[in-house]
Amino acid sequence: MMNRRQLLGAGAAGATTLVSSRAWGQTLNMGLPEAAQMDSAATQPPVRPSSGPDYNPVVTLNGWTLPHRMNNGVKEFHLVAEPVERELADGMTAYLWGYNGQSTGPTIEAVEGDRVRIFVTNRLPEHTTVHWHGMILPSGMDGVGGLSHPGIPPGKTYVYEFDLIKSGTFMYHPHGDEMVQMAMGMMGMFVVHPRDPAFRPVDRDFLIMLNAFDIDPGTYVPRVMTMTDFNLWTWNSRIFPDIDPLVVNRGDRVRVRVGNLTMTNHPIHMHGYDFKVSCTDGGWVPEAAQWPEVSIDIPVGAMRAFDFTADHLGDWAIHCHKSHHTMNAMGHDVPTFIGADKTALTAKIRKHQPEYMPMGTAGMADMGTMEMPLPDNTIPMMTGWGPHGPIEMGGMFSVVKVREGIGAEDYSDPGWYENPPGEQAYEWTGKLPDFASNDSPETRLTPRPASKG
């Protein structure tokens, strides 16, 4: 007579060939895998594979990779959908919904050909599902609540199980009360590495999920009914100046994978380089079909990965090219005062409000240096200090830091780049300094053509 464990095992065995029901019964029914938790918004080091095919793991900016366990040849993961507190930047925390302690959720990494079993426990106050965006899988595993399977009720755990038949960059998010749950921060990325480690290998592989929130200054919970007028544009639920830099050793092959689960497109622009789109969430782009770009538009509900070789030393901005998306918590119904003379008005207002500051008549750059008292739990619209002054950015902005001598596993911030003599814009004071005619190969990317004559 079989006990309950053996019966469960017998049901799940299906067509697999096993030595004895007792042996696999013990391994198959291990109970729920541990649900790892993360309490930090710091970028966690990449997790090298401990078994199976080798691959170069990804680095999720201000994120982490979900651990797995092997169970009878199946990679098992445990996602927990739950309310989380996420530090968007120093001085601003949001009350979101996410996975395993964070929003965005942890990155799932596996290998083409793997079978994965993903336990999803719902600790939200309403049902949820997980849709595996871009994956080719059985219809009933697709995670559309009501269509693929019933919603996962609060307190319950569902199991998704499927084979990873192709490599690439995919995403996961709820497909039940989707508008609310995604506005609350529920999303993550799912990277399937090629089975052949020699297929388009890179040395550094960064992941960015574009997301957005509408959180009034001084409050903690996003407005979930906002459609387009978000005030916080985030990468992996993080805003500049606290998005970590992309640290790269000179000469590295680098890939940046960018997913977009916001409600608008984001043209991601990287300075100092040109690059090519190597992969979409539909698959790898054949090399003959790639063309050079310096900005790539990431459409809504899509992923684009681009590759480049890090030949050029320096601190290179990488950001969304929609200028409103590199601002933090700003209001959009503010009048424009460019060119207006507020002198007389200022005198009148100051009779009643002595601290009044006239703003905006000469542009808004003074916002970058001003230290006005702010409500609790917000950060300035334009902020961040570089080696040469205020950077006046926010939101979707970071820096690619290319240096000599960065160790293979080192992602720590190397500080600011020091421009060599002759390689930094300078003030004209009436005559050119000596370095202006310096022909040293270190200070020129291309040698000056020999003069004719």
Residues that bind Cu ion (CB under 5 A): 266, 320, 322, 325
Output 126 or 297, the one with its CB closest to Cu ion: 297
Smallest distance, Cu ion to C-beta of residue 325, A: 3
Smallest distance, Cu ion to C-beta of residue 321, A: 7
Smallest distance, Cu ion to C-beta of residue 208, A: 12
Smallest distance, Cu ion to C-beta of residue 297, A: 10
Backbone angles phi, psi at 26, to 5 degrees: -70, -35
CB atoms within 10 A of CB 292: 10
Sign of CA dihedral 276, 315, 367, 184: positive
Smallest distance, Cu ion to C-beta of residue 105, A: 21
**What is the C-alpha separation between 53 and 379, in angstroms, rounded?**
44
Smallest distance, Cu ion to C-beta of residue 388, A: 25
Output 132 or 235, the one with its CB closest to Cu ion: 235
Find tokens 């809504």 and name the residue: 300
CB atoms within 10 A of CB 167: 22
Output 254 or 320, the one with its CB closest to Cu ion: 320
Output 66 or 320, the one with its CB closest to Cu ion: 320
Output 55 or 230, the one with its CB closest to Cu ion: 230
Q: How far is CA 174 from the centre of its chain?
A: 18
Q: Could you tell me which residues come within 8 angstroms of residue 289 by beta carbon, excluding any fewer than 6 positions away? A: none
Q: Taking Cα atoms as reference points, which of 93, 38, 81, 35 lies closest to residue 63?
A: 38
Output 131 or 319, the one with its CB closest to Cu ion: 319
Q: Which of helix, strand or coil describes residue 316? A: strand
Which residues on neighbouring strands pair with residue 403, listed in sequence order? 249
N-terminal to C-terminal alpha carbon distance within the chain: 101
Output 296 or 305, the one with its CB closest to Cu ion: 296
CB atoms within 10 A of CB 177: 19
**What is the 3-class SS of 213-271, one letter each residue?**
ECCCCCCCCCCCCCCCCCCEEEECCCCECCCCCEEEECCCEEEEEEEECCCCCEEEEEC
- Residue 321 structure tokens: 């090219």
- Asked whether 276 and 291 are in contact (CB, 8 A), the reply is yes
What DSSP element (H or E) covers 206?
Answer: strand 204-213
Output 66 or 258, the one with its CB closest to Cu ion: 258
Smallest distance, Cu ion to C-beta of residue 216, A: 20
What are the CA-CA distances from residue 354 to residues 347, 351, 358 (Å)?
9, 6, 11
Q: Taking Cα atoms as reference points, which of 43, 176, 160, 157 lies closest to residue 97?
A: 176
Smallest distance, Cu ion to C-beta of residue 413, A: 24
Output 77 or 230, the one with its CB closest to Cu ion: 230
Q: How far is CA 353 from the centre of its chain?
A: 43
- Asked whether 9 and 29 are in contact (CB, 8 A), the reply is yes
Smallest distance, Cu ion to C-beta of residue 396, A: 5
Smallest distance, Cu ion to C-beta of residue 233, A: 6
Output 23 or 300, the one with its CB closest to Cu ion: 300
